[in-house]
Amino acid sequence: MNDRLRERKVDFQDLKDQFKRELKVEFPQASEERLQAMAQRLLNEKLLADEKMARFPVQHENFRPNLSLTTQDRRYKEYFHPGTYVWNEPEKREAWSCCLNFGHSSRGCEFRVQNPDAWCYQGFERG
């Protein structure tokens, strides 16, 4: 185990020295021991990140389900008139009997929520 650690320290000594030089510029007041410890920590983090990338090469993939596909809400309101479009004698023109709106193609005064993703329990006969 000690031999393996020694080999690893020798192999990555130049990278550790480079980390130490960069840290010396960033922290000019730090002691040699502190620089040594920070360089060792950075080296260990880099080696762990390299090992993780070797084990899991695709970083953006994960094993969680994509909830954006199943939590979409595609419901919408469909407006309608519950009354009839008939002649209105006091106004002397045609109007809807429910809300007295004069336009035949006007937006309805009531609505129902339509859900295209809802389950259909009516069978195969309905289209």
pLDDT in tens, 61-103: 677 787 877 788 889 999 999 999 999 999 899 999 999 999 9
Asked if residue 64 is part of any domain, the answer here is no
Look at the chain and report how many structural domains it folds into.
Answer: 2
Q: 96 and 49, same structural domain?
A: no
Could you tell me the two tokens for 88?
């209105």
- pTM for the full model? 0.43
121 pLDDT above the threshold of 90? no
Asked if residue 67 is part of any domain, the answer here is no
How confident is the model over 15-68, as pLDDT tens digits? 999 999 999 999 999 899 999 999 999 999 999 988 888 887 776 667 778 787
Range of the domain at 49: 2-55
Asked if residue 18 is part of any domain, the answer here is yes
Asked if residue 68 is part of any domain, the answer here is no
Asked if residue 65 is part of any domain, the answer here is no
More confident residue, 114 or 117: 114
Distance of alpha carbon 109 from alpha carbon 82, whole angstroms: 8
Q: 44 and 92, same structural domain?
A: no
Q: 36 and 85, same structural domain?
A: no
